[in-house]
């Protein structure tokens, strides 16, 4: 049952004021529950598996709203590609993924599943359950609300993503960096009485932190000179697709400029982060690029210390990248962090010394 129009207008104003995609998704869920008084609403993030068929997805269940209570869970199938026919998927979700219709309604009318798109690419799936059958008016308004989300999300894509590769662009790097650092600081420093933080700490052990990697395509100028810029652009595009296929959805992938890319990984252990970038390096080296053949990359990676600024982290990762180049390219080098650096970037009695 629809709530008061003023509730809807205020919710729309709040929704369209957001510029962070995670906050936008969460706001959509809360808005839909407030407007329709849904008993339960589940939000799934999913993406087409790059370099595979269009009907293959990697799906994670991110937000669960039930009777006004919100919980977040992460069921990310990192190495498993789910197809529309995967038996573990709910039949109505399977139907929604396979259907050309905007929404799929259960036979009793109590439940609707809808796929949301951004720039013609599937992005989210919402699963809404009600205590009574949804009316035609309910479905019409729900369709309009989600269209507003899709349009706003598409506008964000234009401003925040690289037009060639679809990765996040350089100007969004600082924004995402602040988000990551705030999250890491919360995990490390908030009081243990906070239930939410304790839940996150159980999900992410103490030895799991964030990492930043800077990646550069080896001899890229030679590729452009020998094969032309069209093939050079194709190499950039294919490497971006390999990045999307190799890293988790919570990792942030950027085209930093030219043939240079940045990856923010975590939270996870150092061994896990190094394995992820090494696995990606090997995947690129083994890939057969059309006309060009083999292409390799060099990577410098560093841990993010609390209270650091972006330029410091990028500088340290760049130094490691230059070492990788000097050592023969096609390798990963970790930037060493000594005890003095850790002490300098650690808070003193919970505060930051500015002077």
Is the four-CA dihedral 7, 8, 13, 18 of positive or negative sign? positive
Cα–Cα distance measured from residue 253 to residue 313, given in angstroms and rounded to the nearest whole number: 16
End-to-end CA distance of the chain: 57
At 83, give phi and psi (nearest 5°). Answer: -100, 175
Catalytic residue at 250?
no
Catalytic residue among 150, 234, 259, 308: 259
Cα–Cα distance measured from residue 72 to residue 46, given in angstroms and rounded to the nearest whole number: 15
For residue 36, give Cα distances in angstroms to 18, 41, 210: 21, 10, 38
Cα–Cα distance measured from residue 120 to residue 143, given in angstroms and rounded to the nearest whole number: 16
Region at 37 (left for phi over 0; alpha for psi -120 to 50; beta for the rest): left
Catalytic residue positions, numbered = 259
């Amino acid at each position: 049952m629809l709530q008061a129009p003023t509730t809807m207008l205020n919710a729309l104003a709040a929704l369209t004021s957001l510029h962070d995609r995670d906050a936008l998704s969460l706001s959509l869920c809360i808005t839909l529950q407030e407007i329709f008084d849904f008993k339960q609403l589940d939000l799934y993030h999913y993406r087409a598996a790059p370099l595979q068929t269009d009907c293959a997805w990697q799906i994670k269940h991110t937000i669960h709203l039930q009777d006004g209570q919100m919980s977040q869970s992460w069921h990310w199938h990192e190495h498993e590609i789910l197809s529309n026919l995967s038996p573990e998927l709910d039949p109505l979700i399977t139907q929604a993924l396979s259907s050309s219709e905007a929404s799929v309604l259960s036979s009793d009318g109590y439940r609707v599943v809808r796929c949301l798109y951004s720039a013609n690419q599937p992005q989210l799936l919402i699963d809404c359950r009600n205590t009574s059958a949804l009316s035609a008016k309910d479905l019409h308004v729900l369709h309009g609300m989600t269209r507003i989300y899709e349009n706003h999300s598409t506008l964000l894509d234009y401003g925040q993503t690289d037009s060639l590769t679809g990765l996040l662009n350089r100007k969004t790097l600082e924004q995402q960096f602040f988000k990551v650092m705030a999250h890491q600081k919360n995990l490390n420093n908030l009081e243990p009485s906070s239930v939410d933080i304790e839940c996150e700490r159980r999900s992410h052990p103490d030895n799991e932190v964030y990492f930043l990697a800077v990646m550069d395509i080896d001899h890229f100028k030679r590729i452009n000179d020998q094969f032309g810029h069209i093939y050079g652009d194709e190499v950039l595009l294919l490497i971006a697709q390999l990045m999307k296929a190799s890293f988790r959805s919570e990792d942030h992938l950027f085209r930093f400029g030219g043939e240079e890319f940045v990856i923010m990984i975590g939270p996870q252990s150092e061994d896990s982060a190094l394995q992820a970038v090494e696995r990606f390096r090997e995947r690129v080296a083994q890939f057969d690029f059309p006309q060009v053949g083999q292409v390799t990359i060099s990577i410098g990676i560093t841990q993010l210390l609390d209270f650091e600024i972006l330029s410091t982290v990028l500088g340290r990762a760049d130094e490691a990248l230059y070492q990788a180049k000097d050592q023969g390219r096609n390798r990963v080098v970790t930037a060493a962090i000594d005890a003095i650096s850790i002490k300098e970037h650690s808070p003193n009695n919970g505060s930051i010394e500015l002077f």
